[in-house]
């Protein structure tokens, strides 16, 4: 779908931090750098929905900002949505 949308191919499970084991779901590099995070488990109890997981995600996302990587978050059902690809095109191209 990325190719069909004219987007660069993303790097899946991209490790972006030297000291931490943090990864982002998809990494795009165009005129800017984008981390595409798929936020699953919204309706179930998971590590990311608890207060500790939420705070750790905030720390991770703030590190992205320090590295001048924009964060774009979607839920799984919006991953292949035309609006997601349209937004990424506007940001990357």
Name the residue ranges covered by the structural domains of the chain.
Answer: 11-92
Q: What is the pLDDT of residues 41-68, one digit of tens each?
A: 666 666 656 788 889 999 999 999 999 9
pLDDT higher at 72 or 49: 72
The whole-number average pLDDT for the span 3-11 is: 94
Residue 83 binned pLDDT confidence (cut-offs 50, 70, 90): very high
Task: For residues 63 and 17, give the distance between their C-alpha atoms in angstroms, rounded to a whole number.
Answer: 8
pLDDT higher at 54 or 37: 37
Task: For residues 5 and 86, give the distance between their C-alpha atoms in angstroms, rounded to a whole number.
Answer: 8
11-92, CATH topology level: Endonuclease; Chain A (3.40.960)
pTM check: above 0.85: yes
Q: How many CB atoms lie within 10 A of CB 67?
A: 10
The whole-number average pLDDT for the span 69-76 is: 96
Q: Considering Cα of 45, then 51, then 57, then 60, what sign does the dihedral take?
A: negative
Length of the chain: 93
Look at residue 52 in the predicted model and tell me its pLDDT: 87
Residue 37 tokens read as: 């995070």
21 neighbors 37 (Cβ within 8 angstroms) = no
């Amino acid at each position: 779908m990325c190719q069909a949308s004219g987007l660069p191919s993303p790097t899946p499970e991209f490790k972006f931090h030297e000291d931490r084991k943090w990864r982002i779901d998809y990494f795009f590099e165009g005129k800017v750098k984008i981390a595409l995070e798929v936020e699953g488990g919204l309706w179930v109890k998971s590590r990311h929905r608890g207060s500790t997981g939420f705070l750790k995600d905030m720390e991770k996302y703030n590190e992205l900002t320090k590295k001048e990587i924009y964060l774009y978050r979607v839920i799984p059902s919006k991953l292949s949505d035309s609006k997601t690809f349209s937004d990424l095109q506007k940001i990357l191209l």
